[in-house]
Amino acid sequence: MNILISHIAVPVLTTLALMFASTQKQVRTIAAGGMTIQLIQSLVLLYLFLQERAGGNDAVVLFKQSFAWYPSLGISFDLGVDGIAVAMILLTSIVIFTGIFASWEVDKLYKEFFISLIVLAAGVYGFFVSLDLFVLFLFFELAVIPMYLLIGIWGSGPKEYAAMKLTLMLMGGSALLVVGILGVYFTSDVEGVRTFNILVLGQHHIPIEMQRIFFPMLFIGFGVIGALFPFHTWSPDGHSSAPTAVSMLHAGVLMKLGGYGCLKVAMFLLPEAAQEMSWIFLILTGISVIYGALATVVQTDLKYINAYSSVSHCGLVLFAILMLNKTASTGAVLQMISHGLMTALFFALIGMLYSRTKTRIITEMGGLMKVLPFLSVCYVIGGLASLGLPGLSGFVAEMTIFVGAFEHEDLFHRVATIVAVSSIVVTAVYILRVVGLLLMGPVRNEGYYNFPKAKWFEKIATVSLIVGILVIGLTPLWLSDMIRDSLGTIVDKLVLK
């Protein structure tokens, strides 16, 4: 069986298995088992992919598989992955794997919880492996909808409001996507029966005035879930209300669907418009970067802090994509991955701390380093990664973006880059603020001393994420090369006239 199909099959089967599970123990075991298999096969996929590439197979996408579905509409279930997709799939597997362990102690409706969680993951996998716009969109919405239940049922705080807001805003985005996709479908000069296949569409041309209409729709449509300013406001509320694993998965993976879609759909299918309009969105994303960072500085709720910093980091992703060159785009993908790991780590840790301190307000905590050394050290590592310490993933991604963005001939773009670069200082400020208030300083109250130490599943979750961060941070070459090679087909269409 094609490994890509099995990437969708395993989650589905796991879900089915979960339906027949009864006790919490069984549910956990099945979920963990399934996702472990998933992680392993993602690693296998990576290995196979690198093998193929090493073997000189330089097809645009590998492991292609195609099943006709709605032939009269040119809808077919096309699968295939390039380096970017492989990287994102691996990221997803790691995050969902750790997410399962991070939500090990969910006891309310645990069965439904894991089912929805894994359905969500299935949607994400489908999104990354599909080459057909219709299928891609199908999986996109499939990934978004479970969020509502996950936040609404298992969330905290103003969960119903947050869940509704998040769902509606994301669906508003996907509404634009429908228009954009159909627009591309009907205006592309494909002879005979039309097709939704991205690669085929990519070889055909769309009249520029049509591109001008549909590019913003596609870009904003994906941008909403990529937390593009000013459509990012679902993110703080959503993340702060969501249960740990969901925040992890959502900030870690779902927000990346935005960048991925912008790159591989919007930019790839509508290159001329992308060139024309990049400057508008460049300004918007530039704003997100700085604005998100500055807004983070004054937050006091850990999850809000992380949510706003995510706005800043994901803004950087879109920012880099809009630079329309290989290096920056490589950086963008790297940033997606690195931010995915970091933010997942953060949310996991926040959940673990919250389960002990019962508060997320940093000013009400302090000196956790003394009482929870393990978790605190993990937090510090995450923080250092997020402020771009060499040797951790953040540095690699950001530097690639900055260097790439600065390659741009146009002065405006370079100035914008300098503005974006300055965010690293602000990042340092808010990270150190949190570390200082939360972990360091005197122990806040005596009760802290009888906190339970980190449990085994917590350790699995955090350590596996940190390993990911370190691997990328220490040996980035293979990854960045893999991504670079895959970007060729996209970026070559974007070469500036």
Partner 1 sequence: MSLQELLLLRHEWALIASVLILLVLELNFSEEKKSNSISSASILFAIVTLLGFLPAETGSTFGGMYVTDPLRILMKNILNISVLVVFLQSGAWLRTKNNYNRITEFYLLMISSVIGVNFMISAGHFLMFYLGLELLTIPIAAAASYDQYKSKSAEAGIKLILTSAFSSAILLFGLSLLYGSTGSMYFSEMEFSTNSLQILGFVFFFSGLGFKISIVPFHLWTADVYEGSPTNVTSYLSVVSKGAAVFVLVLLLVNLFDPLRQVWQQVIYGTAIFTMTIGNLFAIRQQNLKRYLAFSSIAQAGFILLGVIGGSALGMASVIYFVLVYVFSNLAAFGVVIAIEQSAGKINMKDYNGLYKTNPRLSLAMMLALFSLAGIPPLAGFFGKFFLFTAVAESGYFVLLLIAVLNAVISLYYYLLVVKAMFINKSEFPVPYFQSDYPTRIALSGCVIGILIIGFYSPVFEYIKQLCLASL
Partner 2 sequence: MEFQYTIWIVALPLLAFLINGLGSGKLPGKISGWIATIAIGISTFLSYQTAFQYFSSPSRDKIIAFKTTWLRFNDTLHIDLGVLLDPISVMMLVVITTISLMVFLYSQGYMKNEKGYDRYFAFLSLFSFSMLGLVVATNLFQMYMFWELVGVSSYLLIGFYYDKSSAVAASKKAFIVTRFADLGFLIGILMVSFYTGTFDFEILTNPDNLSFSTTASFLGLSTITWALLLIFMGGAGKSAMFPLHIWLPDAMEGPTPVSALIHAATMVVAGVFLVARLFPLYHAFAPTALEVVAFVGAFTTLFAALIACTQYDIKRVLAFSTMSQIGYMMLALGVSGYGGEEGLGYTASLFHLFTHAFFKALLFLGAGAIIHAVHSNDIREMGGLRKYQPITHLLFLIACLAIAGIPPFSGFFSKDEILAATFATHPIYFGIAVAVAGLTAFYMFRLYFIVFWGKEKTYDHTPHEAPTIMLLPMIVLAVGSVLTGFIPFGHFISSDGQSLDLHINWSVAITSVAIAFAGIVVAWKFYKTESDSSDKVARSFGSVYTSALNKFYIDEIYILITKGIVFRLIAQPLAWFDRNIIDAFMNLLAAITNWISSQIKEFQSGQVQKYAFIFISGVLIIVLSFIYATQ
Q: Which of 55, 56, 71, 452 binds partner 1 (CB under 8 A)?
A: 71
- Which DSSP category does 81 fall into? E
| Phi and psi angles of residue 63, each rounded to the nearest 5 degrees, phi first | 55, 40
Interaction partner, residue 327 (partner 1, partner 2, none; CB < 5-8 Å by kind): partner 2
Interaction partner, residue 207 (partner 2, partner 1, none; CB < 5-8 Å by kind): none
Interaction partner, residue 403 (partner 1, partner 2, none; CB < 5-8 Å by kind): partner 2
CB of 442 to partner 2, least distance (A): 5
Q: Which of 104, 128, 134, 260 binds partner 1 (CB under 8 A)?
A: 134
Residue 367 interacting with partner 2 (CB under 8 A): yes
Interaction partner, residue 129 (partner 2, partner 1, none; CB < 5-8 Å by kind): none
Residue 429 interacting with partner 2 (CB under 8 A): yes
Q: Which residues touch 357 (CB under 8 Å, ≥6 apart)?
A: 364, 365, 368, 448, 451
Nearer to partner 2, 5 or 429 (CB): 429
User: What count of residues does the chain have?
Assistant: 497
DSSP H stretches of helix in 188-225:
198-203, 208-225
CB of 422 to partner 2, least distance (A): 6
Instruction: Quickly tell me which residue has 């122990």 as its tokens.
Output: 443
Binding mask 432-451 for partner 2 (x = CB under 8 A): xx--x--xxxxx--------
DSSP notation for 294-305: HHHHT--BHHHH
Q: How many chain residues are in contact with partner 1, going by CB under 8 A?
A: 32
CB of 335 to partner 1, least distance (A): 29
Q: How many chain residues are in contact with partner 2, going by CB under 8 A?
A: 57
Q: Which of 61, 332, 396, 454 binds partner 2 (CB under 8 A)?
A: 396
What are the C-alpha distances in Å from 492 to residues 324, 445, 487? 9, 59, 8
Helices and strands (DSSP H and E) totals, the chain = 23, 2
Nearer to partner 1, 116 or 310 (CB): 116
Q: Which of 192, 456, 477, 497 binds partner 2 (CB under 8 A)?
A: 477
Query: Looking at beta carbons, which pairs linking 35-40 to residues 24 or more positions away fall under 8 Å?
Result: 35/93, 35/96, 35/97, 35/100, 35/118, 35/121, 36/97, 37/10, 38/7, 38/10, 38/11, 38/14, 38/93, 38/96, 38/97, 38/121, 39/93, 39/94, 39/97
| 3-state SS assignment for residue 461 | helix
Give dist(CA 474, CA 165) in Å, integer.
Answer: 39
Q: Determine how β-strand 75-81 pairs with β-strand 62-70.
A: antiparallel
Instruction: Quickly tell me which residue has 């006091």 as its tokens.
Output: 300
What are the C-alpha distances in Å from 98 to residues 73, 195, 285, 392, 460? 40, 38, 30, 19, 7
Stretch of 23-31, 166-174, 227-235, 247-255 lying at the interface with partner 1 (CB under 8 A)? 166-174
Nearer to partner 1, 50 or 175 (CB): 175
CB environment 62-75: b (16+ within 10 A), e (fewer) = bbeeeeeeeeeebb
Interaction partner, residue 141 (partner 1, partner 2, none; CB < 5-8 Å by kind): partner 1
Nearer to partner 2, 165 or 212 (CB): 165
Stretch of 20-28, 138-146, 253-261, 278-286 lying at the interface with partner 1 (CB under 8 A)? 138-146
Instruction: Give the footprint of partner 1 on residues 170-189 (CB under 8 A).
Output: 171-172, 175-176, 178-179, 182-183, 185-186
Number of Cβ atoms within 10 Å of the Cβ of 47: 10
Q: Which of 92, 93, 98, 167 binds partner 1 (CB under 8 A)?
A: 167
CB of 14 to partner 1, least distance (A): 17
Does residue 236 have a cis peptide bond before it, meaning omega lies within 30 degrees of 0? no
Which of 173, 184, 128 minimizes the C-alpha distance to 147? 173
Nearer to partner 1, 163 or 490 (CB): 163
Residue 141 interacting with partner 1 (CB under 8 A): yes
| 3-state SS assignment for residue 441 | coil
Task: Report the interface residues with partner 2, using CB under 8 A.
Answer: 165, 168-169, 230, 233-234, 236-237, 291, 294-295, 297-299, 326-327, 367, 369-370, 373, 384, 387-391, 395-396, 399-400, 402-404, 406-407, 414, 417-418, 421-422, 424-425, 428-429, 432-433, 436, 439-443, 476-477, 480-481, 484
Task: Report the interface residues with partner 1, using CB under 8 A.
Answer: 69-73, 75, 134, 138-139, 141-142, 145, 148-149, 152-153, 159-160, 164, 167-168, 171-172, 175-176, 178-179, 182-183, 185-186, 213
